[in-house]
Amino acid sequence: MLIFIIPILFFHHVSGSDPLFIWCPSEIPDYTPNTPFHNNLKLLLESLSSNISTSGYYNTSIGEEQDKVYGQALCRGDINSKICEKCVEEASQDILNKCRSQDAIIWYELCQVRYSFQMFISRMVYTGKFPEVDNQEKNVSKDPKRFSEVLMYLMNNLSYEAAFVPSKNMFASGEIEFSRKITIYGLVQCTRDISDTSCYNCLSSALGDLSACCSHREGGIVLSRTCNVRFELSQFFNASSQYLLVYPSSKGGKWKAWMVVLIICASMLVLAVVIGLCIAYFLRKQGSERDEEKTEQMLLHQLATPRSVTITQDGELISSEELVFISLAAIKEATGNFSDTNKLGQGGFGAVYKGVLPDGNEVAVKRLSRKSWQGIEEFKNEVSLIAKLQHKNLVKLLGYGLEGEEKFLIYEFMANKSLDKFIFDSEKRSQLDWKTCYGIIIGIARGLLYLHEESRLRIIHRDLKPNNVLLDRDMVAKISDFGMARIFCENQNAANTKRVVGT
C-alpha cells in the first residue's frame, strides 16, 4: 500500500477545501479522454458522491473487462451526511481534473476518493513510502521522550478501539492530557472493506511511521489507501465523537512528599492485613486438623479392643454379637493364604479375596493395604457404618480382623462379582437383558434411598461406580465399599469436604 506522511505545516487545522495529497502514479498508464474507460470513470465518481451520504462509506464498479473501473469513497467518521457528500463531490471533481492515471487516490481532511482499473476492494498491502517534507512544524520543547510515549499510548488505544469495537465503524478519536497546559488530540480510521485484523495491522504500520517522523513534533498525519492517523495539540474533530483517555501520571512533575508517604503507608497496611489473615487461616487449619485427626495407634486400639463391634447413635464403637471378630490365621486358612487364584479384584485401598469358612459358607475378604493411613481411616469407616446398616441392597458385613498391620473386612460373598464385569465384557453383556437391567437399577436406587433417607444415619457414599455395585447369584444389586462414605446429621443436606474423593 502506498503511504504518504504529511507533517502539519504552519497551521493546526488543515483546510477542508484543499486536498491533503493526490497520488497519481507515473508508472501506471494514463487513460485517453472520451474513451469508454474515461466515461465509466465519470459515471463511477458521480455514483460515489450520490451514494456516500447513507453511511459515510461506499464502493462500486462500472464497466466491463478492460474498461471496468473500481471505486471507493470514505468520509471521516465525525462529520454529517451533507458535509460528507459535498467533500466527496469536490474530491471526485478534483481527481478527475488533476489526474489522468488509471489508478489514483485523493485525500481531503474530511474524505478520500480512490479509483483503479484493477480490483482493490477488501485488499490491504502495506508498502509504505516516506516522502521528503519540510520540517517546519515546531518541535516539542518539554520532555519530548515522554511526549512520544503519551502520544503513542493514545494512538495505540484508539487503533484498538477502531479495529475491534464494531460500534466504532473503524473510526476513533480521543484526547489525552500531557500536562496541565498541553492536551494531545488523536484520530484514526480505516476503510470498512477490510477485516478488523487488517485494519489493526494497517494502523500499527502507520503508527510506526508516525512515531518515526512526527512523535517529537506538535502534529502529524499519516495517509494510506486503507487507513489514516492524525494528531494535533488543538482539537480538530467533532467533540461528540471523542472519548477521554487518561495516561498514568500524565500531568507530569514530581510527586509531593505527602503523596509518597501516603501510598507507602497504605501499601504497608494492606500487606500487614494480608499477612495477618494468612497466619490466622493456617493456624485455624492446623488446629482443626489436630482436633479431627486421630493417630493410627488410637484407631487400632479402638478397633482391636472388642471381639465384635457396632455403632451407637453418637458414632461410638461398642460390643455386639452380630459382628464377629476373626483371627488372621482363620482368614489365611479361608483364603488359601491369600492365594492369587482366590483374588477377586483390586481396590483403591487393598485387594479382595474369596474365602471359605470352616462351616462351608463362602465370604469375600477385603485386605486393606499395609501402612496406609487412608486404609486405617477407611477400615474404621466401613466397620462403623456397615455394622449398623441392614438392607437387602447393601452388602452385608459379617465380621472383621485386625492383627498388627493387617486389617480385614469380611463380607457376604457375591457370586457374580461386580457390575463392571458385565458392562465392559462383550460376552457377559448379553446377559443384561432389560428385565435384569431394570432390576439392577431399582436395586441401586433402593439402596441409595435407604442410605439417604431411611437409615438411622444419613449417609452419602461418595464413590458409587459399577465396580462398587456387586451382584449375587440372582443378579440382585448390592452397594459395597463404604470407605469413603460420609455421615450427615439427620436434617443436614449439604457439607464441605477437605479433599477430593472417589473416582
380 known member of a binding site? no
What is the DSSP track for 347-375? -SSEEEEEEE-TTS-EEEEEEEPTT-HHH
Rounded CA-CA distance 183/211 in Å is 18
What is the DSSP track for 436-448? HHHHHHHHHHHHH
Among the listed residues 314, 463, 472, 474, the single catalytic one is 463
Q: Provide the 8-state DSSP code for 224.
A: E
Would you state the cell numbers that stand for residue 145, as one nine-digit string? 521522550
Specify burial of residue 159 (Cβ count, 10 A radius: 0-12, 13-18, 19+): buried
CA distances from 302 to 149, 318, 319, 324, 339 (A): 73, 10, 11, 16, 30
Would you state the cell numbers that stand for residue 28, as one nine-digit string? 501506471
Rounded CA-CA distance 374/349 in Å is 7
Q: Provide the 8-state DSSP code for 342.
A: G
Respond yes or no: is residue 30 known to be catalytic.
no
Nearest 10 degrees: Cα torsion 74, 75, 78, 82: -140
| CB atoms inside a 10 Å sphere around CB 125 | 11
Residue ranges at the known binding site = 366
Residue ranges at the known binding site for ATP = 366
Residues labelled catalytic: 463
